[in-house]
Chain A
Amino acid sequence: MSAFIQQHSAIQRLEPFLIAIPQNRSSLDLKPFGLSIPKSNIVNPTRLSSEPFLTLLQTLDARTFGPEGMPMDRWVFYDCCYMPGAIFGFGLRANALSEKARQLFGVPTDYEGLVPYAMYIAIPMAPEGAWMGHNLASIGPMLPEEGLKGLGSVTKAIALRCFQTERFYGATQWSSKALFVHSKFGVLDLLTAYTPAHSTPQTLTYSFEATERSLLSAAGHPDVHIERPEPEQWVEASDVETMIELQDRIEAGEQFMIPTRPRRDETGIWVPVCEKPS
């Protein structure tokens, strides 16, 4: 099973990296799926010499989340990612970068280090083994000629193994492209359908068990099939009324799931929902 991950086409040209303070590393799997992270790619964000790489990481975030209006300030990276959590990702050496990639990242001419192509950020939660997804970013869609299809999904799958995640939680917008990635991990428990405590109330909170099968499924392993119940309703991603209705039912004790990936057509993005068997 590990061989499939190691031979995934999206990561063949890339090097894995990990950003974690030394105090956090003993709780992490530094060889996720047997993948060796070179020592030089294990970055301590508290050291002065890490700054150029961390700046490129912020560029990756801005390129990915800028248009959605949620790029992170440096203090958010530091206080909410580097210190309490960890970042796993893949990158390419600056001297191997295409001119287009170099321009996308604004790589300084004298920089020779790693340039982050994809990253996954998560932070631990109070329940043991539970992690909260914070950010998934991949430059893949902006460099379609580089054969990076599936880079985001495989990065998240390996990151969850690296963080030794047992139960995963995340929050995303109903209309987000990321939901297509998250649903690859299996059937998602729907914890909130309308979330006023978030910047965007049309956010859903989801959760799944991070098993070997769910991670391999997300990475696209051809022999791993996850049983998925039939959708009972399709929620259009801008239908706030239905989201509120679902949220009220959740608060009243009903349980729902997102059984499979959303579908997109000329009328919008439709997210499948079904009741969770008791």
Chain B
Amino acid sequence: MLTHYRRAFEHCQPYVLTTQQVAPLLEWEPLGLDIRGQGFVLDPQARSNEKFVCLLRNLDQMSFGTLGMAMPQWVFYDCGVMPSAIFGFAGPAGSLEPWVRRALQVTDDDDQPVPLSSFIAIPMPEKGSWFTHTLCSLTQVCAGAAPEGLASLSLGLGLRMLKVETLYGTIQWRSDRMSRFTRLGPLEVITAYTPAHSMKRTLTWRLPIRRNQVEAALSSPGVSPASPPATHMLDVDDVDALLAMQEELEAGIGYSIVGPPIRRGSIVQVPLCRQVNP
């Protein structure tokens, strides 16, 4: 199923940033891809890898800075480097357009690989459960700057590499990144309105991960065959509806997001399945 990503592999290499403590626990041939053979592995604590880590920070800044949610470097260390591993794809600096090099602060004499995507998940106390911390790709902010599909590929391979059984995450209701996750299956909604987050109109979700669903999402993106039919559509800008949904969730009613958002003009709707006895 990775043949669809031939262009990505022609231009980029997978990378893993991992400490000595975490490295032995990873799956090094996720979906049959030999990471050590076809990519490269870096120790984020080694001084010699400072430049790569710095470029990764620039990628994060570009991806999330406009949302006011760029990751402080200490959070990257405490929540990414130490407990987990960082997985993604990198391309040679020389292959990047000059404007992309400027945006990423790659200097003219840089010839090392430049990270173009990254996926970080944090382990949770329940064995096999992980929380999505970051999924980003240069193409989401600079269309055409890197091969298409790097985010999906980073997510699919990263999930296998970390041996994720249940994935949690947060996302803003209006985010166009939601479909990356709905491809993998129905998202069980844990919060619909989240005052504890910087953006209250954030949802928290949970998703059991099955290998066949990851493979299906990589080879034929769209609505996951595992998703039930929608019972209704939610206008994600209707705060009262989000609050009502949150109150129902707290009362034990179940909700799942069963497909990607649908955008018509300035209206964004998300297909939901409401379950009275989840």
Residues of A within 8 A of B (CB): 21, 23-24, 26-28, 45-48, 50-51, 54, 70, 73-80, 82-86, 123-128, 130, 132, 134, 163, 169, 171, 191-192, 194-200, 203, 205, 244, 247-248, 251
Contact = CB atoms under 8 A, between A and B. Distances in A.
B81 A197 contact: yes
A271 to B, nearest CB: 19
Given A123-B123, A197-B45, A70 B133 contact: no
| A-B CB proximity, top 3 nearest | A27-B125, A125-B83, A199-B73
Nearest to B82: A132
Contacts of B250: 47-48
Q: By DSSP majority rule, is chain A's interface helix, strand, loop, or mixed? A: mixed
A126 B247 contact: no
Interface stretch (B30-38, B99-107, B174-182, B196-204): B196-204
A199 B72 contact: yes
Contacts of B22: 125-127
A80 B47 contact: no
Q: By DSSP majority rule, is chain B's interface helix, strand, loop, or mixed? A: mixed
Contact of B124 (A74, A84, A132, A195): A84
Nearest to A74: B198
Interface residues of B, number: 54
Contact of A46 (B25, B162, B194): B194
Nearest to B190: A46
A79 B83 contact: no
Contacts of A76: 72, 75
B190 A196 contact: no
B64 to A, nearest CB: 10
Contacts of B28: none
Nearest to A20: B125
Interface in B19-77: 21-22, 25, 44-47, 49-50, 53-54, 68-69, 72-77
Contact of B170 (A26, A79, A86): A79
A123 B195 contact: no
Contact of B122 (A54, A84, A244): A84
5 contacts: A24-B124, A51-B196, A75-B202, A123-B83, A163-B125
A79 B194 CA distance: 11
Contact of B191 (A46, A86, A169, A244): A46
A121 to B, nearest CB: 10
Contacts of B75: 76, 80
B72 A70 contact: yes
A24 B123 CA distance: 11
A126 B84 contact: yes
B47 A196 contact: yes
Contacts of B168: 83-84
B36 to A, nearest CB: 18
B264 to A, nearest CB: 29
Contact of A48 (B69, B78, B82, B247): B247
Interface in B77-91: 77-79, 81-85
A74 B246 CA distance: 19
Given A74-B196, A194-B47, A244-B47, A124 B72 contact: no
A197 B77 contact: yes
B193 interface: yes
A130 B82 CA distance: 10
A134 B133 CA distance: 15
A54 B197 CA distance: 10
A15 B190 CA distance: 28
B131 interface: yes
Interface in B188-225: 190-191, 193-199, 202, 204, 206
Among B69, B123, B127, B130, the one with the most A-chain Cβ atoms within 10 Å of its Cβ is: B123
A23 B198 contact: no
B125 A78 contact: no
